Amino acid sequence: MPTIFSKIIAGEIPSYKIAENDRFYAFLDINPLSPGHTLVVPKQEIDKYFDLEPELLSELNLFAQKVAHAMRSVIPCQRIGQIVFGLEVPHAHIHLIPIRTEADMSFTKAREQISSEKMKELAELIRSAL
């Protein structure tokens, strides 16, 4: 059974896409901790981040770095936080989170409600900076 992220990558479930190449896919988190919260995933379905082959793990981070630079250039924030965290989806992923305060990285805080129009705008904005 494919993960929800594999279905997103395959286009079976819609997403606010940020970037894609042959091995990786970046898209807005549907329940963001802050506006622009992005997930970066390998297309290869591997559950645990540290089980990725070393080269794939490195390349995933270099891909995430490009996305983070684009995010930082267009989203008002102090910096982009990166975290590998979570038990919900068994498909390795990096969270990139625009932060203004340390609390913005807290997974216990309430997620933001952002309209689909605003999510579309955010995705376009980040894409335009890539």
Contact criterion met (CB below 8 Å) for 88 and 30: no
User: Considering only residues 24, 25, 27, 63, which one is a binding residue for ligand 5GP as defined by CB under 6 A?
Assistant: 27
Residue 11, exposed/middle/buried by CB under 10 A (0-12, 13-18, 19+)? exposed
Q: At what angle do helices 116-128 and 54-74 cross, to 10 degrees?
A: 110
Distance separating alpha carbons of residues 70 and 64, to the nearest angstrom:
10
Classify residue 11 by its DSSP letter.
Answer: T
Stretch that binds ligand 5GP, among 26-34, 45-53, 63-71, 122-130 (CB under 6 A): 26-34
Query: Of 37, 69, 91, 93, which one is the catalytic site residue?
Result: 93
Question: Which 71-110 residues touch ligand 5GP, going by CB under 6 A?
Answer: 85-89
CB of 28 or CB of 70, closer to ligand 5GP? 28
69 classed as catalytic: no
Stretch that binds ligand 5GP, among 22-30, 51-59, 67-75, 120-128 (CB under 6 A): 22-30
Question: Which 30-69 residues touch ligand 5GP, going by CB under 6 A?
Answer: 30-31, 39
Smallest distance, Å, CB 86 to ligand 5GP?
2
Distance separating alpha carbons of residues 7 and 115, to the nearest angstrom:
22
* Residues known to be catalytic: 93
